[in-house]
Structure 1
Amino acid sequence: MRCKVCRRKIPTHAHFCRYCGTVVDGKNENVQSVTESARSDSHVLSTPENHRDNEHHTNATPQVTKRGRKRSYVFVSIIVLVLLTVSVALYALLGGLLFSRREQVTEVDRSLLHSGIVLPEVDDFPSHSGIKLPHESSSPEHTQAVDVKVPPSTALPTTTPAPIVAKALDLTVKQVDVTSFPVIRLYMDIRDEFGVIPKDLSGGMFFLSEKRAHDPDYIKRSIKRVVQLDEQEQINIHLVADVSGSMMGTPIYDAISVMRRFLDHVQFGIGDMMQLTAFNSQVTEIQPFTKDKAALQYALNDLDAWGDTALFDALYFAIHHTALQEGAKCIIAFTDGEDNASSVSFETVIEDSKHFGIPIFIIGVDMDESYELSVLENICTQTGGSYHSIKEIDALESIYNHVYRAQKEQYLVEYTTESDKGKMSDQFDVQICLQTPAYTGEVDLSFEPHLLLDVDESYAAQDDIEMILSSYLKGFVSAMRTNRFSDLSWTMIKDSPIYIEQKRFTQKDIDEELISYEILEKKIKGDQCTLLVRENYYIQSKRTALHMMTQIAHYRLFKTADGWRFHSFVEPVIVVQKIYQ
């Protein structure tokens, strides 16, 4: 049976609907609500039937009231939850807007500090602008953050930005190049505390001061340029290859293959130069310095393994040829055995390498573990290079690339010194400072320029004495080749001791070629001058095989009506090295 009001199912013998409270008669014909029944029967006296009906009505009403209250509680709870959700959302939205506005103001501070912009004085702005700018300061430490005022309605919480601390960099001068004196090039390794090399350094970030013997104090020099070598500046690499008997067979073929692949990484397009020198019992110049990749690849075909190992001779030879090159330079040598055929000592190799500032990198290929490696490691460490030992020759390529990349990541700092004061042989004291809002660093350097000169190259002589020396050496070589003593005689005082000796010497059947020379010492006293010169020659005769010879000559000159002229040797010429080719 169903209630005729709410249409819900009720028991057959029920007297009222338990859902809506409607009274149901026994025959289910007369239906009326409890409230209507009570209203219509209020004047009727209580009877057993009415008492029973009222009893049912009394029991139904509390159920309806409790159910209504529950519904009210649920409705109120839903309203409260909705209001709380809306409140939280509005709070988060307003907080985000305020934080974003504050970050924009702080970002202005950071941008100004990083850019290094010095803003005008406060008086330059209208009073109603509401912006206070920092006073001009000469150092980044005194730079103040921008104070932005906003109306009270949008006032932001006051925050103090964290101070920006400049990152300290480690500056190391690896090499000094004076081949274009008075232009001086400093090659620097610059890294942070984690070994990372910054890529965004420029000339405006560096400051350089120089002090020479004639200067009472440091003098600021203008820096011409600062550039990282990679893809910008050339580097000169002298590759020294071991072709001794122990490399015969597979090792030499593997080595040639590795060197060919290494050529693919060299930046010949921007001017990188490479020379190939091979050594066994002798030292052989396979290919002079060139940027012709094809010529170097072809030269590798001439490598043939035999003989002993003259490593130190090869390094000495490489030093005196590499020092003639302009720009950054290094020597990369590989060997698989102990030196057993050199006339040059490893101490001389270290001394000359440091003298010209040329780092040496040595790669030991499948070295005998019983061999004492301290000598090779000592050469590399003291010359600014590094030693690497590998067992597999195929690993040479990765080491070559590692060494090459390390050189290419250096920075070039170039400046011009005064050439009309003092002497080139003076000691140079240089202070270099790097200062930006992001980076800071400094380094002090002391060096004496050592310039190895090629007689065939033009050189801006410092004075008349150096000019007559250049003419004397060129004339000597010409006289040896052509037997024309007149090419040399005009540079000497006629019938002087050196005139007589050199006239006799140039008549000998000796083929000499001057490779390079260096002025070690120059002393002037009135009309007299003494010159100490180191000279490198290629010499060959019927009795002597081709070899490179280094000699020390001590000359005395006098100033005559025709200018400075050679007079005699202060002491006999000393031959210090011979390296057979």
Structure 2
Amino acid sequence: MNMFCGKCGTEASSNDRFCKKCGGALMGETDLGEPQPQLEAVPSTEIHLVRKKKSTSWKIPTLAIIAVLLLAGGIYAWRGTLSDNSQAKVETVQAETSDSLGEPVVSPAPPVPTEAVEATPSQTVSPVEPAFIKVNQVDSSQYEKAGVDVYFSLFEDQDLQQEIETMSLSKDMFTVNGQPVYGLSLVEDSDTVSVNLVIDKSGSMQDQPNADVHTSKMDLVREAAVQFIDNIPAAAKGQFEVLSFSSYVPAVADVPFTSNRSMVSSQLSSLESDGGETALYDSLTKALYDTNEQQGPKYVIAFTDGIDSNYGSSVESVIDLSRQLGIPIYMVGFGGEDDKLSYISDETGGQHFFLSVDDDLQTELKRIYDTVFQRYVKQYKLTYLPAKKVAPGQEFSFIMNMNAPQQQAETTSLTYERKLDNNSIAVQNALFEYQVNYAQSVNLLDFSLVQDNVQEGSEFYNNLKKRIEIDYGNANAKGTPKIIDPLENYRIDSISQVQDGAYKIKFFKLFPVLLDNEQVYEADLNTYTLVRSQTSGNWQVSNFGREECSIYRDPSDPGSLCTDNGVKKLFSGDPWPN
């Protein structure tokens, strides 16, 4: 068999292994006259075809195509592995999420070749950090028309101590109940914050916080309120009302809502204790009704020693009204911690603080300012359109999610009560004013204090005037004066409008009485009818019906035993017989 050189084509002997002319590898000739190639050792990334000089030309492009396809297939397989590994890393980073109360849960990622990561730097994803949402206020007054406004702040920690500075957020980063939101804005760019300053000036405020200090609690309260106002920067958007109180809540505030801080500060500086009692819960109730009339973010902050002593509103009624109106209450107490103050703040979405003369007052007041006012001017307002229709006074719930590029957050399921219409709230407020003024008129034997709250000319008006001026007057002359007992608890059981435009309110109240020398509680379920005055336009009480339901031993009982198998009962004695 003839042999030929694979490089120069020189013919050689069959005994030779290499070309004597160029040293190239030799190849033999097949029976068909085609050269049989012998491959010499080459690098794995290169392919050399050794062929006879006169070989046919059709095999050259064919083999070249095969080589290209093999090379392309290898590159595609390599890139596919890279893509799978990179995608695994992206999914792992996306799995690093957390709920609003927990730490991130991180799933381990499969190993990724170093060269693959370096080859695709655009697929690197920054870690997502958890954030925590504090809902400060929920305004449902436009529930069906314009949606629900949710005012909230963002924090880095679960304890809500490290607030996140203003960050660039957009509404497409949020969902409520899994649905897109209608709007998102910074409060400082859109709304004025309304703050009601409730100031205790009762007789207990004349006392010293302790025996070693000669400064009165009134001095501390006055200084605290003034410093709170003075700490607010001039550029901050805010308006304030001053409502001071002692034995009774005033009919009008000392300073109605105004943005004139000099006027507010001047009024606060002139406050003095008048030696009266402490109508704290009534004053908080009035502050809630006054503040409700303002637009935008709002809250009540009360400075007091927390010792309520007057007939009227209760802790529970204040909390119920705060929730219904969506207005949080912040309490600043003096002279030691008080569980009731803490309870009110915690249950209404506010916060409580306690100051003593041992504190650095300036530092503590600055901290309160930063916690309260600053939070409200730096917060966000989110608006969403509810998918579920609920009637005024009924509860609604939502879960809010935030998915920002660097941080994620989710609230628990939050439940609120849809706000009543303006007329229903005005009627409630009118009944509250009647209750406050009625107590004063009975204890002072002065019908004029309550006559504007009652429909003149009605049978109820005439009977009430007789009862106060004659019946209670005679009892007082005999040495047995009628004293209005303080309420332990009350609530509005229901409110409804009747055909003539009047409103009927079922009103439950619980107050202490002595029964066989034992302290128990009488529960009344009353029905009040209120009509609008033709002259003043105010709502007035035109009728009253009373049902004594039962006697209770537990002052926190909301009146669930006022019926026996659905039938109303009059005075029934002990509802828990042996």
> Normalised by the size of structure 1, how large is the TM-score?
0.48
